[in-house]
Amino acid sequence: MGVGFMMSIESSERSVVRRVCRDLAASSSLEEALTGRYEPLGVVGQGSFAKVFLARHILTGTKVAVKVLRKGAGATLSWVLSELDIMKGLEHPHVVQLLEIVETPGTAYVVMEHMAGGQLGQHIPEVVGLWEDEARVLFGQVASAVGYCHAQGIAHRDVKAENVLLDAAGRAKLCDFGLACRFRAGEKLGLLCGTVAYWAPELHRREPYDGPAVDVWSLGVLLILMLTGSVPFTGASYEQAKEQVLQARYHLPFHLSDEAQSLVSWMLTLEPAHRPTLQQILGHPWLSQDGERCPSPPAELLPKRADTSILLAMLDLGYGLQETWVSVAMGQFDEAMATYLLLHCQKTHGGGLQGPAEAWVAGGRALPIALQPLQLDSGPEEGCQQPALRSWPLLSYTGSHRRSTDITAEGQWETQPVCHFPVQPACQQPIPSLWPLRPAAGQVAVVKAGEPVLPAPDIGTKLLFH
């Protein structure tokens, strides 16, 4: 066996060890920052600029996603702060909901709702795509989210299948606002960013661009992917794919309806000013058909009025009434607000607890609380519905209220079912068929504006021009 081959093996082994050590260090820092509130369950995603963990909210037993953002300095810090600021202002049923932000000097931990269905791209069968009825429902949900962002003066700038997640009911939600920015009407943006396969012609030409218009083009690419199973602009090289984009040259299968082809061609108009707005897209005949069998969930995700039953439940968990509601009303996205929103979700949608809860460990001491396996309430016998919320035991202290992290040897804890949230049935639209998972697009290249891209990027490459 050659020396070079042995050195290659040793180098590979060292690389694996370094990667494992980095993951352990990240997990350890996550546990330290969120100790007593969240239990890390493992890494679920590795993005260009962040890592995403799956965790469990200890007091409610609800699974959440935790995005770890390294602040860095200069431009990196500015990007992180911009993403946090944008996410705090978003409230839409098809945008992944922010729950809590925990900041340390060098890191921001962004706690969001867990999307159990994974990425949209994992459910799109290659070669054939989704049925039109399936695509219509999901695309309409994504378009409504992008339209909401535009109405708030926010351009996403990285709309793609990997940034659309599905919840357990099969509803689509837009995520990852790392490249998003605020814009004013008529303002041209200059930063070239996003994923090359979804780039509009003006980005390939390195021209100042209109934020909403490039999002519309990306939506057109996404719709073709959903309907055909592949992105429209491909080639053996970046230059070949670029030429296809600049000529708007793509193929649609003959079996697609005239309405679907009409919407695609409108969104993939070469001239940005002639592309439709999101309002026009949502009013297009293809989307206004009677294809959505279940209505979208209600738009009010962040409650405008205090819910007494939830406040009393949180009082039993050790939170002050005024402290809790001020946190929610002011949009502080702290521990109290996260707990309130998770309980609110359980009450209104029945989507909180994922299964039998366990005895948790906080501060090195086992909590004397056992969230017992819970029984489903009976719901309406007919129609599309979500499970009714189960009655579950909450902490009750025989003296002053304390949080789970404040437990001492004194006092006596007991489990006591103190509240039961009746649930209003809500329609769900599950994905009728789940196809084999498909790996997400890959690499990241960072180049300076004005410099040639050598070698030419692959179609799935994400670019960020400084």
Give the model's confidence band at 151: pLDDT under 50 very low, under 70 low, under 90 confident, else very high. very high
What pLDDT shows up at residue 8?
39
What pLDDT shows up at residue 317?
86
Nearest to 137 by CA among 297, 293, 349, 299: 293
Nearest to 139 by CA among 6, 274, 252, 292: 292
In this predicted structure, the answer to whether residue 373 has a pLDDT above a threshold of 60 is: no
In this predicted structure, the answer to whether residue 342 has a pLDDT above a threshold of 50 is: yes
Crossing angle of helices 335-349/308-317, nearest 10°? 130
What pLDDT shows up at residue 15?
40
Q: Residue range 185-200: average pLDDT?
A: 95
User: How does the average pLDDT of the chain come out, rounded?
Assistant: 74
Q: What residues contact 427, with CB distance under 8 A and at least 6 apart?
A: 293, 294, 295, 383, 384, 385
Peptide bond preceding 417: is omega within 30 degrees of 0, i.e. cis? no
How far apart CA 126 and CA 180 sit, in angstroms, is 29
Spatial contact of 276 and 284, defined as CB atoms under 8 Å apart: yes
Task: Name which residue leads in pLDDT, 345 or 138.
Answer: 138
Q: Residue range 319-328: average pLDDT?
A: 90
How far apart CA 180 and CA 86 sit, in angstroms, is 8
pTM: 0.71
What pLDDT shows up at residue 48?
66
In this predicted structure, the answer to whether residue 258 has a pLDDT above a threshold of 50 is: yes
Residues in binding site: 67
The strand pair at 193-195 and 63-70 is best described as: unpaired
Domain ranges of the chain: 118-296+430-465
Burial class (CB in 10 A: 0-12, 13-18, 19+), 455: exposed
User: For residue range 216-227, what is the model confidence (pLDDT) as tens digits?
Assistant: 999 999 999 999
Please provide residue 465's backbone torsions phi and psi, each rounded to the nearest 5 degrees.
Answer: -95, 125
What pLDDT shows up at residue 124?
96
Q: Which of 129-133, 295-299, 315-319 has the highest mean pLDDT?
A: 129-133
User: For residue range 225-239, what is the model confidence (pLDDT) as tens digits?
Assistant: 999 999 999 988 999
Report the top-level CATH class of 118-296+430-465: mainly alpha
85 in catalytic set: no
Question: To which residue do tokens 């049923």 refer?
Answer: 93
What pLDDT shows up at residue 73?
65
Measured in whole angstroms, the distance separating CA 438 from the mean position of its chain's CA atoms is: 18
Helix or strand run (H / E) with residue 118: strand 118-119
Nearest to 302 by CA among 150, 65, 97: 97
What pLDDT shows up at residue 7?
36
Residues in binding site for ATP: 67
Which is catalytic among the residues 85, 133, 158, 210?
158
